[in-house]
Amino acid sequence: MSRRGILLALFGAGAALRLAGLDRASFWSDEAQSVWIALAPSAAAVWEQTGRATYEPPLFNVMLHGMLAATGAVTEFSARLLPWLAGVAGLLVVFRLARLTLEPGAALLACGLAAFAPYQAVLAQECRMYSCLFALEAGSAACLLAAVAAAPRVRARWWAGYAACLAGAALTHHMAVAWGVAHATLVLLDGRARRAWCGFALASTPAALIAAALLMARRSQMAELLVPRDVPLQELAGTLHDALALGGGGMGLDPGPRWAVVGLVALLVGRGAVVLGTRRLFPAVHVIVPLLFLHALHRFSGIHYPILRYAIGAQAALLLLVAAGLAAPGPRLRMRGASRLALAGILTASVVSLVRYERGDPPRFGLLQSKKPLRDVCTFLSGRLAPGDAVVHVSLNSCLPCRLYLPRVPQAYLLPSRDYDTPGGREVFGAPVPLARAVAGARRTWLISCPGSFSMPPDPPAELQPVLERVLGRPVRFEFPGVVVYLAPVLATVR
């Protein structure tokens, strides 16, 4: 098969992998937040509500608003169609980056790794901005490299593409700032890119102004996050582990194989960096700088766990380094036995991770991404709700998704959320209410407890127990993976 045929086959496999099971998992809390905001009556209202209720830039929610309007439905498939399209576009951009950065054989390897990268496949099936962020960040990098190498008559076109992609990334997530800093570092260190500093400065100005304006508009919200703290060594190790596992380490691999993959990828990354040397600084710079920014974000903010999705653009550069390390024996791909074995090990780990993810009930990507079966919970409730029943959630973790699945059922929640409990967030999502008020006038109460992580027990927190005993009678318990539902009578003294 020709190289073009292999590329088409890899692209088709990657697109199909990202499409399979797009609607299998229920909405989780962050996805429901995006959908809830995107259901505002106009794009201007979505823009305004995003600024009031979240820390995030508004572009993804505005695009999601258009996608939901175009499909005319609010389902998992229609909501995740936009991230899937972005994931497919990101795959094409990685193919382009590989051609610009690597020798033909290594570029083909990078395309194969990108097609089956578990982290990219999972984010393309999630109604959040990270898949779009990856496509825009990788697109800006491809435009930057093309602009530096292009003939003068077409260079302006590539600079315009770079400006559009980087500005779009800045309107998608604040961590796009790290990608812009990585580009500036590359321009300073690379002699050929340094000669194009004027075009780079002009093209990056819109993104810098957008980022500054968004941060200023949200300065009071961001100030709540920027609380310096000590970062345990295991958190930094966790971030590096997620990066070097290329997303495969968090989806069910046992500790031995997981760390074996991490060590193998680390070795290949180092080998690829040495092979590329000073001729191709792009991959190494675009791994190191975003991950340093991620570490600084943990050090100077209240975010207390490592999530590589914040620096998702680094994954593209990691794939290039791994491919360069695999193809190191020569300019053309003449893989030795060790390289073949390493490639087989990485791809096997990726496939095993994805199979375990897809076969999971519910699908889970590590402990922190809680795609709990709230659709099943709502189906269970819809067949059992009776007049005089109240539905109450412990927190917004389950309340927001269940409001999408049961839009005609009033649903309150009891405990504030660190992420959503802001003055603007209360206006958009509603405020927590005391249990006695939430069940006023009801004869029975369905209480849903759904912590934000699979690592936490699903039972209501101890702080709620005295209130539950005063307001509700003896409950009947129904259990789902990561979720507990209680049916309890409301005491006559409260009614």
Q: In whole numbers, what is the pLDDT of the chain averaged over residues?
A: 82
- The reply to whether 445 and 308 lie within a common domain is no
DSSP string, 320-347: HHHHHHHTTT-SS----HHHHHHHHHHH
- The reply to whether 426 and 332 lie within a common domain is no
Mean pLDDT to the nearest integer, 471-490: 92
- The reply to whether 238 and 266 lie within a common domain is yes
Max Cα separation, the chain? 81
pLDDT of residue 251: 45
364 within domain boundaries: no
Using CA atoms, how far apart are residues 494 and 470, in angstroms rounded to an integer? Answer: 9
Domain boundary among 335, 359, 383: 359
Nearest to 181 by CA among 196, 195, 168, 170: 170
Of 2 and 394, the one with more pLDDT: 394
Of 99 and 297, the one with more pLDDT: 99
pTM for the predicted model, two decimal places: 0.88
83 within domain boundaries: yes
- The reply to whether 347 and 474 lie within a common domain is no
pLDDT of residue 254: 54
219 within domain boundaries: yes
- The reply to whether 343 and 381 lie within a common domain is no
Domain boundary among 359, 386, 418: 359
Q: Structurally, how many domains does the chain consist of? A: 2
pLDDT of residue 285: 87
- The reply to whether 317 and 462 lie within a common domain is no
Nearest to 364 by CA among 267, 255, 202, 482: 482
Asked whether 87 and 266 are in contact (CB, 8 A), the reply is no
Strand positions, DSSP E, 116-216: none
- The reply to whether 208 and 73 lie within a common domain is yes
267 within domain boundaries: yes
Using CA atoms, how far apart are residues 286 and 54, in angstroms rounded to an integer? Answer: 28
With a pLDDT cut of 90, the percent of the chain lying above it is 35
pLDDT of residue 427: 79
pLDDT of residue 368: 40
DSSP string, 451-462: -SSTTS-SSPPG
Mean pLDDT to the nearest integer, 377-394: 93
Domain boundary among 336, 359, 382: 359
366 within domain boundaries: no
Residue 255 has pLDDT above 80, yes or no: no
Residue 221: partners with Cβ closer than 8 Å, 6 or more residues away: 55, 422
229 within domain boundaries: yes
- The reply to whether 129 and 250 lie within a common domain is yes
pLDDT of residue 332: 45
Which range marks the domain in which residue 468 is found?
Answer: 374-489
Tell me the residue type at 337: G
Q: Is the peptide bond before 451 cis (omega within 30 degrees of 0)?
A: no
Using CB atoms within 10 Å of the CB of residue 333, give its burial: 0 to 12 exposed, 13 to 18 middle, 19+ buried: middle
Strand positions, DSSP E, 56-151: none
Which contiguous run of DSSP H or E holds residue 141?
Answer: helix 130-149
Mean pLDDT to the nearest integer, 398-411: 93
Using CA atoms, how far apart are residues 231 and 75, in angstroms rounded to an integer? Answer: 39
- The reply to whether 37 and 108 lie within a common domain is yes
Asked whether 207 and 57 are in contact (CB, 8 A), the reply is no
pLDDT of residue 220: 63
From 38-42, 321-325, 452-456, the region with the lowest mean pLDDT: 452-456
Q: How confident is the model at residue 171 (pLDDT cuts 50, 70, 90)?
A: very high
pLDDT of residue 39: 93
- The reply to whether 246 and 107 lie within a common domain is yes
Asked whether 110 and 98 are in contact (CB, 8 A), the reply is yes
Mean pLDDT to the nearest integer, 1-30: 87
- The reply to whether 254 and 328 lie within a common domain is yes
Structure confidence by residue, pLDDT tens digits, 267-316: 777 777 877 776 678 888 888 888 777 777 766 665 555 566 777 888 88
From 11-15, 269-273, 279-283, 328-332, the region with the lowest mean pLDDT: 328-332
- The reply to whether 166 and 236 lie within a common domain is yes
398 within domain boundaries: yes
The residues facing 389 across adjacent strands are: 444
369 within domain boundaries: no
Q: What are the two backbone dihedrals, phi and then psi, of residue 477, each rounded to the nearest 5 degrees?
A: -105, 135
Q: Which long-range contacts (CB under 8 A, 24 or more apart) does 155-162 make?
A: 155/196, 155/199, 156/199, 159/199, 159/200, 159/202, 159/203, 160/203, 162/203, 162/204
Mean pLDDT to the nearest integer, 11-34: 89
